[in-house]
C-alpha cells in the first residue's frame, strides 16, 4: 500500500472541533448568583448542606422559589463554566460580586465621605438602597441621607448649597410623575440650582415597597390600594399581615426587605435611577 498523504485519520486533527473550556473553581458563598447549566435555573445561593452523603446547594430564584443542586461542576457564572466547591479560602479566577452585581473590593476600607450626597425620602428607601448598594457606596465614599418627605426638599437644598464642582446632590423621589405635587416641587428646586449641581430622579411607585418585585413575596402583582387608604396599611391588609400599629408596619417592611438579596430582586424602574444617581455624584470633579 502506498503512502497516504492524508494520514490514517483525516479527523484526528480537526481544526473545527470545539475546544473544551476549563471550569473555574468557585466557593459556594451565600448570595452568589449562579445558573445550573442543565436546567437553566438561575438563583442566589441561600444554603449549603449535606444530604445523602453529598453537598447540596439551594438556589433561590427571583420569584423566591428554592431548588437544590449537587455541588460540583455544571454551573455557570456570567456564562462561564464553574465548579462550585465548599466555601473556604477564596479561589482565584472569578471575583466576588456585591448585591448590586458589581465586582467587590475585598479588604477595602470605607472611603472618607465625599461632600456630594444622595438623598432619599424616607427610612425604608434608605434601608433598601443600603441593602443592595451599601458596599459600593462605602467604597465610593457616598453618604445616603433621608429627607423625611419631598416637602422638605426646597429648604434642604437651600441649606446644602450644591455645586457642580465638589458638592453635587442626587435625589431619589417617590411617585415622581407629571401633574403631581412631587413634580411641581422638583421643577421649582431645579429652576433655582446651578446647572450640573443637582440631579433629581424618581420612580413611578406610590411607595418604595412596590420597587420589590412582587414575585419575591409570591404575588403576581402588588395589590391596588383604594385612594384615601394609607398604602402600607392597605398592602399589609391584602397580604394578611398584622397592620394595627407602626411596629406592625416596620415588621412587615423587614419581612419584605429580607426577600431582597440581589439587584435582580428590584424593579428596573428603581435600579436604573439609583445607579444613575451614584454615577452622578461620583463622576470626575465631584
Cα dihedral 261/66/213/226 (nearest 10): -120
Distance of CA 207 to the CA centre of its chain: 18
Q: Where in the chain is the domain with CATH 3.40.50?
A: 117-212+260-282
Report whether CATH 3.40.50 matches the domain 117-212+260-282: yes
pLDDT of residue 7: 47
Stretch(es) of the chain classified as CATH 2.40.10: 1-94
CA distance 161 to 128: 26
C-alpha–C-alpha distance, residues 43 and 215, integer Å:
13
Write down the pTM of the prediction: 0.64
Q: What secondary structure does DSSP assign to 234-252, as a single string?
A: HHHHHHT---SSHHHHHHH
pLDDT at 6: 45
Per-residue pLDDT of the chain in tens (286 residues, 90 and over written 9): 444 544 445 444 555 555 555 788 998 888 788 899 999 898 888 888 888 788 899 888 877 788 899 999 999 988 889 999 987 655 555 566 676 666 566 555 545 567 899 999 999 999 999 999 988 888 888 899 999 889 999 999 999 999 998 899 999 998 888 888 889 999 999 999 999 999 999 988 989 999 999 988 888 999 999 888 899 999 999 999 999 999 999 999 999 999 898 888 999 999 999 999 999 999 865 5
Q: Out of 2.40.50, 2.40.10, 1.10.1740, 1.20.58, which CATH number does the structure's domain 1-94 have?
A: 2.40.10
Measured distance CA(135)–CA(165) in Å, rounded: 25
Amino acid at each position: 500500500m502506498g503512502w497516504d498523504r492524508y494520514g490514517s485519520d483525516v479527523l484526528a486533527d480537526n481544526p473545527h472541533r470545539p475546544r473544551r473550556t476549563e471550569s473555574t473553581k468557585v466557593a459556594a458563598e451565600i448570595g452568589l448568583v449562579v445558573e445550573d447549566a442543565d436546567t437553566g435555573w438561575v438563583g442566589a445561593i441561600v444554603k449549603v448542606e449535606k444530604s445523602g452523603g453529598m453537598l447540596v446547594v439551594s438556589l433561590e430564584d427571583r420569584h423566591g422559589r428554592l431548588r437544590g443542586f449537587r455541588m460540583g461542576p455544571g454551573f455557570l457564572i456570567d456564562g462561564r463554566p464553574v465548579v462550585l466547591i465548599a466555601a473556604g479560602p477564596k479561589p482565584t479566577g472569578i471575583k466576588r460580586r456585591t448585591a448590586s452585581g458589581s465586582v467587590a473590593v475585598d479588604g477595602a476600607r470605607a472611603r472618607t465621605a465625599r461632600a456630594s450626597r444622595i438623598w432619599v425620602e424616607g427610612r425604608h428607601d434608605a434601608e433598601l438602597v443600603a441593602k443592595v448598594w451599601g458596599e459600593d457606596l462605602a467604597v465610593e465614599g457616598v453618604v445616603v441621607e433621608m429627607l423625611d418627605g419631598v416637602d422638605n426638599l426646597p429648604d434642604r437644598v437651600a441649606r446644602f448649597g450644591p455645586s457642580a464642582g465638589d458638592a453635587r446632590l442626587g435625589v431619589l423621589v417617590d411617585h415622581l410623575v407629571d401633574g403631581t405635587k412631587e413634580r411641581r416641587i422638583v421643577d421649582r428646586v431645579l429652576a433655582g440650582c446651578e446647572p450640573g449641581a443637582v440631579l433629581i430622579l424618581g420612580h413611578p411607585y406610590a411607595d418604595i415597597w412596590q420597587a420589590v418585585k412582587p414575585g419575591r413575596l409570591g404575588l403576581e402583582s402588588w395589590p391596588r390600594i383604594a385612594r384615601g387608604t394609607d398604602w402600607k396599611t392597605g398592602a399589609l391588609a391584602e397580604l394578611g399581615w398584622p397592620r394595627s400599629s407602626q411596629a406592625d408596619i416596620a415588621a412587615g417592611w423587614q419581612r419584605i426587605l429580607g426577600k431582597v438579596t440581589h439587584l435582580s430582586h428590584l424593579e428596573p424602574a428603581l435600579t436604573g435611577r439609583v445607579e444613575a444617581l451614584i454615577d452622578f455624584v461620583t463622576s470626575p470633579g465631584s
